[in-house]
Amino acid sequence: MLDTATEAERSDQLRLLADSATAFASGRLSLARARKLRGEKPEFDPAMLAELAGQGWTGLLLPEELGGFGLGFAEAAVVIDSVAGQLAPEPLVPVAVLAAGVLRRCAAGERRDALLGGIADGSVIPGLAWQNATGGLDPADPAFTATVQGEGWSVSGQARFVRPGSGATHFLLAARSDKGIELLVVEAGSDGLKLVSEAQADGTSLARISVEGLRVAADAHLSLSAADFAAAIDEAVLMNAVELLALLRRMRTMTQDYLKTRVQFGKPIGSFQALQHRAVDLLIQEELTAACLNQAIAAFDAGSCSVDERSSYASRAKARAAEAAMWTAREAMQMHGGIGVTDEYELSLYVNRTLALAPWLGNASAHRRRYVRLNPPKAGSDA
Amino acid sequence: MSAVTDWNALDDDSFRQQVRSFFRANYPEELRYPKTRLRWAQIRDWYLTLSKQGWLTPAWPTRYGGMGLEPSKLIIFYEEIELHGVGRAPDMGITMVGPLLIQNGSEEQKDYYLPKILSGEHIWCQGYSEPNSGSDLASLRTEAVLDGDEFVVNGQKTWTTLAQDATHIFMLVRTDKSAKKQEGISFLLMDVTTPGIERRPIRNLAGHEEFCECFFRDVRVPKANLVGEINRGWTIAKALLGFERISIGGPKQSQYAIARLEELASHLGLESDAGFMDAYARLKLDVLDHAALYTRFIDQVRRGEKLGSDVSMLKVIGTETYQKISQLLIETAGSAGGLVDDVEMAGEDFDWLTSYYNARPATIYGGSNEIQRNILASQVLGLPS
Ligand SMILES: Cc1cc2nc3c(=O)[nH]c(=O)nc-3n(C[C@H](O)[C@H](O)[C@H](O)COP(=O)(O)OP(=O)(O)OC[C@H]3O[C@@H](n4cnc5c(N)ncnc54)[C@H](O)[C@@H]3O)c2cc1C
């Protein structure tokens, strides 16, 4: 589909998709709803996730034969932007990008196809468990270890920072074996699966999952290459950056509006040059982020870059988006004065979501470091 | 209470020792280095312990029940408070109302209010800011109209820290609408249970109720509650600002936060991480140099000199250093950076988001950092406006 559509057709389609995503988000995903779901267990509404699936959004990136739409990252970004902008706690990126991206790369088979079909129709909500307790980010070194045992597998280890945790229907335990990367599919609530929730700034939580010698049947075992696993994670990193851009754009425009309307000393505070320059700096950050993301998304969709180039794009995008969003959050609070640090005012919802999403799958610092690891400075190279 | 001790006659070291051992022996261990503002119910016992000891109001003259400490001793007292991690009690009565009444209050006001601050019977909150008057405080509109022997007060205050725990509020109110902004303001004391006053707690972005908005509808307050002359409230209030700026310009919060960062770094083994070490070193030196600058100002106080507008620097660099440390803490926490409360990291609990949440409003209250920079630009650098 991506190959056949012309540039113009695609941008028309993107506009249509953006319109319907915006309409859905403003109609169905109110900030009041997001506020009310904070701290709940589960912290999102499974019925709403099913509704998002009904819009086709959980299957956007999946091939049509698996119940998806075979669309690209530009389309996914449009939808994710709308959903994130309304602070919906439904785990769209973790499920429809991360878990789906990993599963999609596993060998086809009954179990895999059923899970992907379930993601597309909203009935399956898997959480990928792969990072260790201090937050290791090396896809080649996932949190669990797996060994063949009789007909099936035995898995041990502990993963942290798993999204979704509460509310997940399945967990995909990523494990090292002597053959490569194994993926063990375990239903939530299974015996021997220990889950501890850790609360985040935005009222959602991350799960800590541990198993010790858990037996997993052969038909719940999938496998994929370390490179494919890394590629799926990079896609989630990029779409997570899209979420952060949506948040920072909202915080920045709220601040811009406030600077125009808040009056002190007989004039709008936006007339003070000390604040004007800072507002402009935020705009520049927003534009840098958007430009960087557009480039990365286009490269992902073109599908022509190497694994390392893809990782570089993902890291560049995340480094910029996370840094810019955290910066915008701080400046937005400051330029609002007292009201900017209250729970009641909507800015706090955006700030707290930013605090939760910026570190997920690696914060700005981690991604800057990865970028230069992949692209060490070389004498005589052009930018 | 036993005979009044002349603390100032002691040499600095033995005074410090006495203060230190009293804190060690009496301050509840579980309240050391509290992460958030302590509520009255938590800190009441300690407040009363200090009061019984005669140490609640170290800066007040002895004849009003204070310790009568001269600046150098006072500094030692506060240093020991910080060193031991003694939590902040509701101290508006101690640090603001008391000194203000001692300077500007009538004999009746002093006789009535000061003992009740000492006994913990009266807990004060500060009612200056209004929804439309924050940085531009002098534009405040809460109005007090004289009607016989009473003022009738109407209006709204906001961001009133811990008003829900207070028994009394000291306020700036407008008493002359025709005068120039600063000249129509008076300083008024109120019992918060007076009919017509309503307090509504406001939740902050960390989810805690640490301040309130306060509504005043036809609140009748005895004329005797006016402090100083009518329409002179601005001058009276301004006299307290110097104290506030030095007390919120101290290095304590940054020092505590950087110690947590050091612990986190050592648990994660980051000593060999050049990127982290550079970022850390930069902040460590900011903390040390800020403390050095703070000492310079404190020495000025110790010599009995008045502080100038340049003291605003302390608040700017101190609060911003604190913010940067809290940011580096989150960054160092990596994937765990968005987790709240005590978070286990490499076998030890850390709470980086509380530092972050505490650090944010520090550049807003007590005169925002933008306002401090405006003061420095015009009053210290003499730049044209
Ligand atoms: C945690 C907390 C506790 C507080 N406790 C109390 C209390 O107990 N009692 C009390 O009376 N008040 C209290 N305050 C209120 C505090 O004093 C005000 O928030 C502060 O004065 C700023 O006012 P504002 O919030 O209305 O912001 P605004 O004045 O509206 O400022 C908004 C933004 O504009 C900037 N700005 C304003 N004017 C200028 C200018 N001329 N040039 C450049 N920038 C400018 C500000 O710096 C800020 O960034 C508290 C506030 C907080 C956050």
Decide if B271 is catalytic. Answer: no
Residue B256 and residue B373 in one domain? yes
Q: Domain of residue B181: give its range.
A: 124-232
Residue B188 and residue B213 in one domain? yes
pLDDT at B27 over 60: yes
Residues composing chain B = 385
User: Is there a contact between A359 and B345 if contact means CB atoms under 8 Å apart?
Assistant: no
Q: What is the mean pLDDT of chain B?
A: 94
> What pLDDT band is residue B248 in, cutting at 50, 70 and 90?
confident
Quick one: pLDDT at residue A382? 63
Residue B131 and residue B222 in one domain? yes
pLDDT at B200 over 60: yes
Residue B135 and residue B196 in one domain? yes
Residue B274 and residue B337 in one domain? yes
Quick one: pLDDT at residue B385? 82
A103 token code pair: 């599963």
3-state SS class at B372:
helix
Specify the range with the lowest mean pLDDT, choosing from A218-232, B7-21, B32-46: B32-46
Specify the range with the lowest mean pLDDT, choosing from A47-61, A150-164, B128-142, B233-247: B233-247
* Number of the ligand 1 atom closest to the C-alpha atom of A339: 25
Residue B43 and residue B142 in one domain? no
CATH topology of domain A227-374: Butyryl-CoA Dehydrogenase, subunit A; domain 3 (1.20.140)
Q: Which of B171, B160, B173, B1 is nearest to B90 (CA)?
A: B160
Residue type, A280: V
A134 and chain B in contact, CB less than 8 A = yes
Please indicate, yes or no, if residue B288 is contained in any of the structural domains.
yes
Question: Which of 1.10.10.60, 2.60.40.60, 1.20.200.10, 1.10.540.10 is the CATH number of A4-124?
Answer: 1.10.540.10
User: Is there a contact between B339 and A265 if contact means CB atoms under 8 Å apart?
Assistant: no
Final residue belonging to a domain, choices B169, B201, B232:
B232
Dihedral sign, Cα of residue B262, residue B265, residue B269, residue B270? negative
Quick one: pLDDT at residue B3? 53
Run of H or E including A317: helix A307-336
pLDDT at A94 over 50: yes
Residue type, B47: Y
Rounded Cα–Cα distance for residues B156 and B216 (Å): 6
DSSP string, B240-264: THHHHHHHTT-SHHHHHHHHHHHHH
B340 and chain A in contact, CB less than 8 A = yes
Q: What is the CATH number of the domain that holds B362?
A: 1.20.140.10
Final residue belonging to a domain, choices B67, B89, B111:
B89
Run of H or E including B69: none
Rounded Cα–Cα distance for residues B130 and A321 (Å): 36
> What pLDDT band is residue B2 in, cutting at 50, 70 and 90?
very low
Please indicate, yes or no, if residue B42 is contained in any of the structural domains.
yes
Residue B204 and residue B288 in one domain? no
| Residues in A touching B340 (Cβ below 8 Å) | 199-201
Residue A337, CA distances (Å) to A333, B33, B315 in order: 6, 27, 16
3-state SS class at B348:
strand
Please indicate, yes or no, if residue B103 is contained in any of the structural domains.
no
Please tell me the distance in Å from A330's CA to the nearest CA on chain B. 8
> Which of residues 142 through 171 in chain B touch A, CB cutoff 8 A?
158-159
> What pLDDT band is residue B382 in, cutting at 50, 70 and 90?
very high
User: Is there a contact between B345 and A160 if contact means CB atoms under 8 Å apart?
Assistant: no
Average pLDDT in the A213-232 region? 96
Residue B307 and residue B274 in one domain? yes
Q: Kindly report, residue by residue over B314-349, the tens digit of the pLDDT.
A: 999 999 999 999 999 999 999 999 999 999 999 999
Residue B52 and residue B157 in one domain? no
Quick one: pLDDT at residue A101? 98
pLDDT at A184 over 70: yes
Q: Which of A95, A100, A158, A164 is nearest to A130 (CA)?
A: A158
Q: Kindly report, residue by residue over A194-216, the tens digit of the pLDDT.
A: 999 999 999 999 999 999 999 99
> What pLDDT band is residue A3 in, cutting at 50, 70 and 90?
low
Quick one: pLDDT at residue A72? 96
Please indicate, yes or no, if residue B271 is contained in any of the structural domains.
yes
Please tell me the distance in Å from A323's CA to the nearest CA on chain B. 10
Rounded Cα–Cα distance for residues B262 and A47 (Å): 45
pLDDT at A8 over 50: yes
Residue from A264, A331, A334 to probe ligand 1 pocket by mutation (most atoms less than 8 Å from CB):
A264
pLDDT at A1 over 50: no
Residue A192, CA distances (Å) to A130, A146, A151 in order: 18, 15, 19
How many structural domains is chain B composed of? 3
The finding on whether B368 has its CB within 6 A of some atom of ligand 1 is yes
Average pLDDT in the B33-51 region? 91
Residue B375 and residue B255 in one domain? yes
Please indicate, yes or no, if residue B262 is contained in any of the structural domains.
yes
Question: Distance between terminal CA atoms of chain A?
Answer: 34
Rounded Cα–Cα distance for residues B116 and B122 (Å): 5
The finding on whether B135 has its CB within 6 A of some atom of ligand 1 is yes
Q: Which of A134, A201, A365 sits opposite B338 (nearest CB)?
A: A201
The finding on whether B81 has its CB within 6 A of some atom of ligand 1 is no
Alpha helices in A86-177 (DSSP H): 92, 100-104, 110-121
User: E strands within A44-143?
Assistant: 126-129
Final residue belonging to a domain, choices B42, B71, B89:
B89
The finding on whether B211 has its CB within 6 A of some atom of ligand 1 is yes
Average pLDDT in the A26-55 region? 96
pLDDT at B126 over 60: yes
Residue B348 CA to its chain's centroid (Å):
31
Average pLDDT in the B216-236 region? 97
User: Is the Cβ–Cβ distance between A262 and A268 less than 8 Å?
Assistant: yes
The ranges assigned to domains in chain A are: 4-124, 127-224, 227-374
The finding on whether B128 has its CB within 6 A of some atom of ligand 1 is yes
Residue type, A81: D
Average pLDDT in the B38-43 region? 91
> What pLDDT band is residue B240 in, cutting at 50, 70 and 90?
confident
Catalytic residue among B143, B150, B183, B244: B244
Please tell me the distance in Å from A285's CA to the nearest CA on chain B. 18
User: Is there a contact between B365 and A272 if contact means CB atoms under 8 Å apart?
Assistant: no
User: Is there a contact between B338 and A199 if contact means CB atoms under 8 Å apart?
Assistant: no
Please indicate, yes or no, if residue B16 is contained in any of the structural domains.
yes
User: Is the Cβ–Cβ distance between B99 and B187 less than 8 Å?
Assistant: no
Residue B250, CA distances (Å) to B85, B174, B240, B293, B384 in order: 14, 33, 17, 10, 30
Q: Please, which residues have CB within 8 angstroms of residue B240's CB and are 6 or more apart in sequence? A: B96, B99, B100
| Residue A303 CB-half CA count within 13 A | 5
Quick one: pLDDT at residue B123? 96
Please indicate, yes or no, if residue B114 is contained in any of the structural domains.
no
| Residues in B touching A355 (Cβ below 8 Å) | 330, 337-338, 353, 356
User: Is there a contact between A134 and B134 if contact means CB atoms under 8 Å apart?
Assistant: no
A274 and chain B in contact, CB less than 8 A = yes
Quick one: pLDDT at residue A355? 98
Cα(B374) to ligand 1 centroid in Å equals 14
User: Is the Cβ–Cβ distance between A360 and A240 less than 8 Å?
Assistant: yes
Cα(B162) to ligand 1 centroid in Å equals 17
CATH superfamily of A127-224: Butyryl-CoA Dehydrogenase, subunit A, domain 2 (2.40.110.10)
| Residue B227 CB-half CA count within 13 A | 27
* Number of the ligand 1 atom closest to the C-alpha atom of B137: 21
Rounded Cα–Cα distance for residues A48 and A330 (Å): 31
Cα(B150) to ligand 1 centroid in Å equals 31
Average pLDDT in the A128-156 region? 95
Residue B196 and residue B162 in one domain? yes
Quick one: pLDDT at residue B175? 98
pLDDT at B242 over 80: no
Give the residue on B whose Cα is nearest the Cα of A198.
B339
> What pLDDT band is residue B35 in, cutting at 50, 70 and 90?
confident
Quick one: pLDDT at residue A379? 84
Please tell me the distance in Å from A51's CA to the nearest CA on chain B. 28
At B131, give phi and psi (nearest 5°).
Answer: -55, -35
Residue B222 and residue B312 in one domain? no
DSSP string, B264-307: HHHHHTGGG-HHHHHHHHHHHHHHHHHHHHHHHHHHHHHTTPPP
Q: What is the CATH number of the domain that holds B144?
A: 2.40.110.10
